[in-house]
Amino acid sequence: MRSVKIFLDSRSYEISIGSAMDLGEVLLSSAMKKNVAVVVTNATVARLHLSKVLVALHKTFNRVEVVEIPDGEQFKTWDSLNQILTALLSWGCDRGTVLFALGGGVIGDVTGFAAATYMRGIPFVQLPTTLLAQVDSSVGGKTAINHPLGKNMIGAFYQPRAVVCDLQYMDTLPLRELQAGIAEVIKYGPIHDMVFFQWLEESIEAVLAKDEDALAHVVQRCCEIKAQVVSSDERESGQRAVLNFGHTFGHAIEAGMGYGVWLHGEGVAAGMVMAAELSKRLGLVDESFVRRLTRLIGRAGLPTKGPVIDAVDNAGRYLDLMRVDKKSEAGEIRFVLIDGPGKAIVRPAPDSLVREVIDACCK
């Protein structure tokens, strides 16, 4: 088993990475009351993976309950949050109850927010079942639901007590979801680690084939980078924003197309090409870097062009949606840009240039 630690004083925790791990064993070391466990999941994941988790939890906890929320980004909403909170209240759950998020980033984000808000905060554990959730969303304590006017706009920073990344979950993950996760994997190269990027260029076929060693390396390296960034800037007062490379354009794609039409990772993939192109037009990277990044994204089977989200004024619609981004200041959009391969910065860009990039990068 591999392990990565997030250092955040009293909120520090361990990410365990392995295959077919004994969940009960992994949880032994975490200092939580083992009285009531509530698993939050959806029908898709429950059908595939819930029974094994329940066996482990029944051995560890006195009582185990399950809440199933509907599957999909379009259900990352107040209604789903309320469904979880209502279940907890109706079962008389107290502050010692531990929530388990069994699923992808949607389950993780909603469950984390429920844990942050129920009785002003109860412990929760992330059991991420998608690649995207293992390399990114389960780590770092960002929890949220969507608002029709903007993605992830309602939420809290709230750290889990533990993250357990079992690579066995990847066996059942559809290719399109694996590819969406690879978008967040690729992101770590341009913003932080071009050695890892080069390894990905050499190993992308192995990752797509779900080779276990390749996946283990991917999850460990991504979690190490994320742990380093989050440990130094938990609440995104600066450096953490670089983890949003590709996300400003990507969130506009998700919201503009309607949540769930483009997967989060697909929006990030096309968004990274757009952000790289903007970086180039600002003189921060050269054309060969944009081509290199675009090539790897394409080899992963991910979109390298954004969709047209408005037939009349596409760039204007992108700009409107991007102004709702959490990095915006006084209505000015701030982009994560690549300032030479391996280093990211956050800064505004002239609307006219952003329009040119959108026109060049959408089809």
Q: Minimum distance from CB of 125 to ligand NAD (Å)? A: 15
Catalytic annotation, residues: 120, 142, 184, 226, 236, 240, 244, 247, 251, 264
The amino acid occupying position 352 is S
Strands 334-338 and 344-348: antiparallel
Expressed in angstroms, the distance from the first to the final Cα of the chain is: 44
Residues between 229 and 258 that touch ligand GLY (CB under 6 A): 240, 243-244
d(CA 274, CA 335): 10
Instruction: Tell me if 142 contacts ligand GLY by CB under 6 A.
Output: yes
From the list ligand NAD, ligand GLY, none, pick the one residue 152 interacts with, judged by a Cβ distance below 5 to 8 Å according to partner type: ligand NAD
For residue 140, state whether it binds ligand GLY (rule: CB under 6 A): yes
Report which residue type is found at 70: P
- Decide which of ligand GLY, ligand NAD, none touches 169; Cβ closer than 5 to 8 Å per partner kind: ligand NAD
Which ranges constitute the DSSP H helices of 16-174?
23-28, 43-45, 51-60, 78-90, 105-117, 131-132
Residue 18 or 250 with smaller CB distance to ligand GLY:
250
When the beta carbons of 217 and 240 are compared against ligand GLY, the nearer one is 240
Nearer to ligand GLY, 51 or 237 (CB): 237
**Closer residue to ligand GLY, CB minimum distance, 166 or 236:** 236
Q: Using CA atoms, how far apart are residues 184 and 182, in angstroms rounded to an integer?
A: 5
172 binds, among ligand GLY, ligand NAD, none (CB under 5 to 8 A by kind): ligand NAD
The C-alpha R_g of the chain, in whole angstroms, comes to 20
Instruction: Order across the sheet with 162-166: list the strands.
Output: 2-6, 13-18, 162-166, 124-128, 98-103, 36-41, 63-68
Which positions touch ligand NAD (CB under 6 A)? 42, 44-45, 48, 71, 73, 76, 103-107, 109, 129-130, 132-133, 136-137, 140, 142, 152, 169, 172-173, 177, 180, 264-265
